[in-house]
Amino acid sequence: MTASSESGNGAPQNGAAKGARSPADVGLANNAAPPPTAPFSAPPSSPESPATTVKEAAASAPEPTAEPATCPACGEAEARLLFETTDRLLRTTRNRYRILECAACRLIRLDPPPRASEWRTHFVKPEPPGTKSLAERIERAYRALVVHDHVGFVIRALRNAGEADGIADIGFHRGELRRTLAERGFRVVAVDITPEAAATSRKGEALPLEIEGSEATLAPGSCAVVTVLNVLEHLRDPASCLASASALLRPGGRLVLQAPNANCWQFLTLGEHWSGLDVPRHLISFRVPDLEALLDFCGFEVVRRKFFSLRDNPASLATSVVPGLDPAVRRARGGRENELASLLKTLLYLLFVAFAVPFTVIESACRAGSSVMIEARKK
Ligand SMILES: [Zn+2]
């Protein structure tokens, strides 16, 4: 239930499908580049890169170790140290990381980013299927309730695209949104990013994607809406993911993007305690202008922004303040709890979430919500 619950803490796992390919004809090269000082203004190095399978990508790419200490958006080496911290939330590592702000474009990044081989170890396995305790059933009911906010946003984007169907959801598995849309009669193709693909993605290459549970491929230009929710902040090269999304969309199709917003009051007031930093799983902490520059660079025009997410913003504040009560955090930390303690902690957490609503509504009204949802039109 942390800020990245749709993707990150819900554990990226290797997709079962093989044979699905990412679209090869990614059109980054045709996009007009914004001014050279803007974030994400560097031209991609190899726009014609062929589609590869995840295995090929993982095997062929050398493991990034000593990353060049430059900004992924503008290439600037100078940076300001904001904090030095560790995995405060899930406690998967004691490694120390620096949170840097680029001296030129102000993009906030993690330094050093985790190596490709350790990437998976910082995520939590998905919940095992089977009988649920009362606490787990309450948590599931809560999540099923709050996801309707996202569902409404996606359906409106579909209507704005002038289409009735054709949604692809790019993410790291996990499926409340996919399930809920499907229950409402929409066809949702789940397109997965594997940890290997995410960790080894290269600038200018479309991200290798797999279609969940299927040998099928998704034709370029076949989707009316592509959702990329709480994904970009985990990637070394977020432009590669948006290139894949762009290739899947038909002209005029809509991208629905969500990411934590580093320009929020929660970050301003709580600093390194803000759960949206999610060290070391979030490699980049975007502010809204960073995202909009990236979208422009990747050939999208922003048509709608929403700073309040019923699912993410109150939970983000509650998790920042009382991380030890968040059910997802507790699962990740792996402490033993009896059923009564588990129930009480989950109920107390939901009480904190409820108390967080007024503050998060106000910060969102001031365009400083802890997450932002963007609808962008493919140019
Ligand atoms: Zn920069």
Confidence category of residue 116, pLDDT binned at 50, 70, 90:
confident
CA of 299 to the centre of ligand 1 (A): 20
**CB within 5 A of ion ligand 1: which residues?**
71, 73-74, 76, 102, 104-105, 107
Q: What is the largest CA-CA distance in the chain?
A: 58
How far apart, in whole angstroms, are the C-alpha atoms of residue 266 and residue 36? 31
CA of 31 to the centre of ligand 1 (A): 20
Q: Please give the pLDDT value at position 91.
A: 93
Flag whether pLDDT at 3 surpasses 60: no
Output 215 or 288, whichever has higher pLDDT. Answer: 288
CA of 70 to the centre of ligand 1 (A): 8
CA of 71 to the centre of ligand 1 (A): 5
Strand locations in 104-182, DSSP E? 108-111, 167-171
CA of 240 to the centre of ligand 1 (A): 17
Confidence category of residue 68, pLDDT binned at 50, 70, 90:
low
Flag whether pLDDT at 103 surpasses 50: yes
Flag whether pLDDT at 26 surpasses 70: no
pTM of the model: 0.81
CA of 308 to the centre of ligand 1 (A): 27
Q: What is the pLDDT of residues 174-189, one digit of tens each?
A: 678 888 898 899 988 8
Read off the tokens for 65: 């170790």
Q: Please give the pLDDT value at position 209.
A: 67
Nearest to 327 by CA among 348, 300, 297, 304: 348
| Angstrom distances, CA of residue 332 to CA of 9, 33, 88, 89, 314 | 8, 41, 12, 9, 20
CA of 109 to the centre of ligand 1 (A): 9
Domains in the chain: boundaries = 28-378
Q: What is the pLDDT of residues 189-221, one digit of tens each?
A: 888 776 666 666 666 666 666 666 555 677 889
CA of 41 to the centre of ligand 1 (A): 10
CA of 79 to the centre of ligand 1 (A): 8
Read off the tokens for 223: 């989707």
Q: Please give the pLDDT value at position 44.
A: 38
Q: Please give the pLDDT value at position 64.
A: 45
Read off the tokens for 66: 């000593």
How far apart, in whole angstroms, are the C-alpha atoms of residue 330 and residue 144? 20
CA of 296 to the centre of ligand 1 (A): 16
CA of 207 to the centre of ligand 1 (A): 22
CA of 311 to the centre of ligand 1 (A): 30
Dihedral angle sign, alpha carbons of residues 56, 59, 61, 65:
positive
CA of 197 to the centre of ligand 1 (A): 24
CA of 80 to the centre of ligand 1 (A): 11
Flag whether pLDDT at 92 surpasses 80: yes
How far apart, in whole angstroms, are the C-alpha atoms of residue 322 and residue 275? 10
Q: What is the pLDDT of residues 230-270, one digit of tens each?
A: 999 998 889 989 998 999 999 999 999 999 999 999 999 99
* Greatest mean pLDDT among 29-33, 209-213, 258-262, 327-331: 258-262
CATH (residue range 28-378): 3.40.50.150
Mean pLDDT of the region 135-154: 93
